Amino acid sequence: MSDKVKARQRIDELRAEIERHNRLYYIDAAPEITDREYDQLLQSLEGLEQEFPEFGSATSPTQRVGGAPLDHFESVKHTVPMMSLSNTYSKEELGEFDRRIRKLIPEETFDYILEPKIDGVAISLRYENGELVRAVTRGDGTTGDDVTSNIRTIQSIPLRLSDMIPPTVLEVRGEIYMDTAGFSKLNERRQEAGKEPFANPRNACAGSLKLLDPREVAKRPLDAIFYATGQLDGIVFETHEQMLQTLKDYGLRITPNYWLSSTIEEILDQLDTLENMRHEFPFEMDGGVIKVNERRLYEPLGSTAKSPRWAVAYKYEPEQAETILHSISIQVGRTGVLTPVAELEPVQLAGTTVKRATLHNEDEIRRKGIKVGDRVVIEKAGEIIPAIVKVVTEKRTGSETDFTMPSVCPVCDGEVEKREGEVALRCTNLQCPAQVKNWIAHYASRGAMDINGLGESLVEQLVDSGLVKTPAELYALKNAEVLGLERMGEKSADNLIKGIEESKQRPFEKVLFGLGIRHVGKGAAMILANEFKNIDALMEVDVQRLETIRDIGPIVGKSVVEYFQSMETRTVIDQLRAAGVNFEQAEAGGNNELEGLTFVLTGSLETMTREEGGDKIRARGGKTSSSVSKNTSYLVAGDSAGSKLAKAEALGVTILNEEQFIALLGSDEKRKDQQAGQMGFIF
């Protein structure tokens, strides 16, 4: 067998293996390998494709982010128009919808199907013989923009359909969305960089798809769900439910929940169930879509000029509240950005008491015409962040006052500046107590060094008393110094010093994250730690080298290089090193007794955080997942375990309480021996 034949065979094997793992991760929520193992497969494939370019393929997993920036988007006419749905906020109108349908097809029996209404950006994907050839936005419903290069960067969208025999043409329609957690992190990064934050996940998603550089789109937390079809050639669907399940079989994500009912009355009840679930979804969900399930009835039911008659969208009223803006305070962040915050009369909203709302920056205040003393309407943007929607100007009394951003830092009286291309003001004093406090709080936080007992109030005292000016100075603290602080007894002081000492052994990626390098989150910190293995190698790297690393890129690369070029940074690192903080990545190996097992942790654990539990599982060769599936080996259920527990029970997944989990880990042999006779494992 020639080298070329062997290479082609290996390339095909790698592509099939990577596509299989993509499906396991994105569709089945049951990953079998670590991110690093996945990257190694991808790197092997990239190497072979570079060595044998004649075997290149547009649907290869390596081609997700290969395109150069575009000059513009081409307009494409939809083969089947993308119609919009008629909307209603009234359950009475849903009754009218049902009566109209039954009048049009009086002899037919049929079911309704209810799905969540995703508040994203509509998209149409065209697959020919199983390969993705085009992605087009809705546009005006007749013509949209060709955004194929951008859509190819979304990992959950298959470039080639699964190994079933694909139809000649399959056009699928769905929604591109930005998950709510990713949206919050994106806005945090934008504000730290002095950029305008996005108003909500939908705007962030739409803005991302309009970027002309696919490499920048790849950095956005975009995902997709599909729920409809356009042109079909070589396949027929009898029902909407059958269509959904077939799309899933092809490797396309579908809605995580849907309900079938034969009456509109049952659908009305299920709409209430869906509304109660709205905060459980990773996307913004603003209502439900009701469709006739039997597709053969779509033609006789027909459509109006804009909307099909066989479907309707029921939208929930946005959760809003009116309150008084008493004052505007200024927060100084870890990178020195000054953020105005509305101090509100406390009001109930979406199940919580809201006292504050972000105002982002001075431009946002001016744009909305906000004054101190105004009555304002607030809602939770993306169901996450309280935001002011509008001012109730008709209720003004004349006593309201304009707000102006301070000319100096409100914390340290240092100079403030607005950098070119930024909308935010930034304190230039690196020794500003607010920046120092945020830096130390971040360093000690869960996910970073996880120093038990070192919360915000204690950080405030440590900095205000002059005991700590950098994270390195935490390791020089003595019991006697800590005992002098407010509400600090001997036991609390001992626990704090012990927690600080224990943090020296945290994994290298957690130390990197704790350093607070601008734009370096948990994921980037793990990538850098795995790539460079120790702090010395990372401190000497240049931007060009960093840009070659998957998921790092020029912005993070520049930030890392600038961080380590600072003499202040190097001094702190030298002090941390002298204190014994771990600056090296541990080599893989050791105890692999949980290899091949997948765990999901839910609820509150008493003896550890869920993140610590996950670390213990991975240290023993096991895997963790955020969702329960038939491939889950164990669900670890702490207090207040919710829907994941119910799903695990329904699937017959083995459920462990915290004591059983600890015994399974074998991390405390004494406790394990004491409890061995008391436990009944459900293996």
Longest dimension (CA), the chain: 87
Q: Looking at the domain assignment, is residue 548 inside a domain?
A: yes
What does the mean pLDDT of the chain come to?
A: 85
One domain for residues 170 and 309: yes
Alpha carbons 107 and 116: distance in angstroms, whole number:
29
Q: What is the pLDDT of residue 139?
A: 86
Region at 130 (left for phi over 0; alpha for psi -120 to 50; beta for the rest): left
Domain boundary among 548, 579, 610: 579
Q: Which residue has the tokens 């690393």?
A: 549
- Short-list 201, 76, 208, 75, CA closest to 154: 208
Q: What is the pLDDT of residue 285?
A: 86
Residue 616 has pLDDT above 90, yes or no: no
Lowest mean pLDDT among 454-458, 506-510, 519-523: 519-523
Average pLDDT rounded to a whole number, residues 592-612: 82
Q: CA angle, corner 454, sides to 449 and 458, nearest 5?
A: 145
Residue 385 vs residues 274, 376, 403: alpha-carbon distances, Å: 22, 16, 22
Residue 588 has pLDDT above 60, yes or no: no
Confidence label for 587 from pLDDT (cuts 50, 70 and 90): low
Residue 682 has pLDDT above 50, yes or no: no
One domain for residues 270 and 354: no
One domain for residues 301 and 331: no
Residue 577 has pLDDT above 90, yes or no: yes
DSSP states of 199-246: SSHHHHHHHHHT-S-HHHHTTS-EEEEEEEEEEEES---SBHHHHHHH
Q: Looking at the domain assignment, is residue 201 inside a domain?
A: yes
Q: CA angle, corner 281, sides to 277 and 284, nearest 5?
A: 105
Lowest mean pLDDT among 8-12, 302-306, 378-382: 378-382
Q: Looking at the domain assignment, is residue 133 inside a domain?
A: yes
* 8 Å CB contact between 177 and 201: yes
φ/ψ of 229, rounded to 5, equals -130, 160
Q: What is the pLDDT of residue 554?
A: 82
* 8 Å CB contact between 305 and 315: no
pLDDT, tens digit (0-9, with 9 covering 90-100), for 177-231: 998 778 878 887 777 776 777 877 888 888 888 888 888 888 888 999 999 999 9
The alpha carbon of 267 is separated from its chain's Cα centroid by a whole number of angstroms, namely: 30
- Short-list 464, 554, 558, 559, CA closest to 516: 559
Q: For a pLDDT cut of 70, what percent of the chain falls above it?
A: 91
Residue type, 212: L
One domain for residues 551 and 466: yes
One domain for residues 37 and 176: no
- Give me the CATH number covering residue 379: 2.40.50.140
* 8 Å CB contact between 506 and 445: no
One domain for residues 309 and 376: no
Q: What is the pLDDT of residue 111?
A: 96
Domain boundary among 263, 294, 315: 315
Alpha carbons 180 and 200: distance in angstroms, whole number:
9
Q: What is the pLDDT of residue 668?
A: 39
Catalytic residue, from 4, 77, 91, 117: name it: 117
Residue type, 295: R
Count of structural domains within the chain: 5
Q: What is the pLDDT of residue 65?
A: 58
Domain boundary among 17, 47, 63: 63
Q: Considering just the CA atoms, what is the radius of gyration of the chain in Å? A: 28
Average pLDDT rounded to a whole number, residues 505-534: 87
One domain for residues 294 and 385: no
Q: What is the pLDDT of residue 520?
A: 87
* 8 Å CB contact between 435 and 332: yes
One domain for residues 164 and 31: no
- Give me the CATH number covering residue 9: 1.10.287.610
Q: What is the pLDDT of residue 69?
A: 57
* 8 Å CB contact between 190 and 198: yes
Taking each helix axis as running N to C, give the angle between helix 264-276 and helix 91-104, from 0 to 180 degrees, rounded to the nearest 10.
140
> For the whole prediction, is pTM greater than 0.75?
no
Confidence label for 518 from pLDDT (cuts 50, 70 and 90): confident
Q: Looking at the domain assignment, is residue 574 inside a domain?
A: yes
Average pLDDT rounded to a whole number, residues 607-632: 78
Residue 378 vs residues 120, 282, 354: alpha-carbon distances, Å: 21, 22, 9
Residue range of the domain that includes 267: 87-315
Whether 117 is catalytic: yes
- Give me the CATH number covering residue 616: 3.40.50.10190
Residue 39 has pLDDT above 60, yes or no: yes
| Residues 13, 22, 221, 439, CA torsion sign | negative
Alpha carbons 561 and 583: distance in angstroms, whole number:
17
User: What is the token pair recorded at 152?
Assistant: 């190819």
Q: CA angle, corner 337, sides to 331 and 341, nearest 5?
A: 30
pLDDT, tens digit (0-9, with 9 covering 90-100), for 319-377: 788 999 999 999 998 888 899 999 999 987 766 688 899 898 888 899 999 999 999 99
Q: What is the pLDDT of residue 189?
A: 76
One domain for residues 351 and 487: no
Helices (H), 70-210: 91-104, 148-151, 180-192, 201-209
Q: Looking at the domain assignment, is residue 446 inside a domain?
A: yes
Q: Looking at the domain assignment, is residue 547 inside a domain?
A: yes
Edge-to-edge strands of the sheet including 112-118? Answer: 87-88, 311-315, 285-292, 112-118, 259-261
- Short-list 160, 192, 103, 206, CA closest to 419: 192
- Give me the CATH number covering residue 226: 3.30.470.30
Region at 132 (left for phi over 0; alpha for psi -120 to 50; beta for the rest): beta
pLDDT, tens digit (0-9, with 9 covering 90-100), for 222-281: 999 999 999 999 999 999 999 999 999 999 999 989 999 999 999 999 999 998 887 788
Average pLDDT rounded to a whole number, residues 16-24: 79
One domain for residues 149 and 232: yes
Which residues make Cβ contacts (< 8 Å) with residue 116, sequence separation at least 6? 255, 256, 257, 274, 277, 281, 285, 287, 288, 289
pLDDT, tens digit (0-9, with 9 covering 90-100), for 454-486: 988 899 899 989 999 999 999 999 988 988 888
pLDDT, tens digit (0-9, with 9 covering 90-100), for 126-173: 999 999 999 999 988 888 899 998 999 998 899 999 867 889 999 999
Residue, of 643 and 298, whose pLDDT is higher = 298
One domain for residues 293 and 326: no
Q: What is the pLDDT of residue 67?
A: 53
pLDDT, tens digit (0-9, with 9 covering 90-100), for 44-99: 887 888 788 878 777 787 776 545 556 678 889 999 999 888 888 889 999 999 99
One domain for residues 17 and 122: no
Average pLDDT rounded to a whole number, residues 105-110: 93
Residues belonging to the chain: 683
Q: Looking at the domain assignment, is residue 423 inside a domain?
A: no
Which residues make Cβ contacts (< 8 Å) with residue 412, sequence separation at least 6? 427, 429, 431, 432, 433, 434
Q: What is the dihedral of CA 231, 234, 237, 242, to 10 degrees?
A: -110
Q: Looking at the domain assignment, is residue 424 inside a domain?
A: no
Residue 676 has pLDDT above 50, yes or no: no
DSSP states of 604-662: B-SSS-HHHHHHHHHHTT-EE-SS--TT--EEEE-BT--HHHHHHHHHT-EEE-HHHHH
Q: What is the pLDDT of residue 361?
A: 87
Residue, of 100 and 421, whose pLDDT is higher = 100
User: What is the token pair recorded at 618?
Assistant: 């991975």
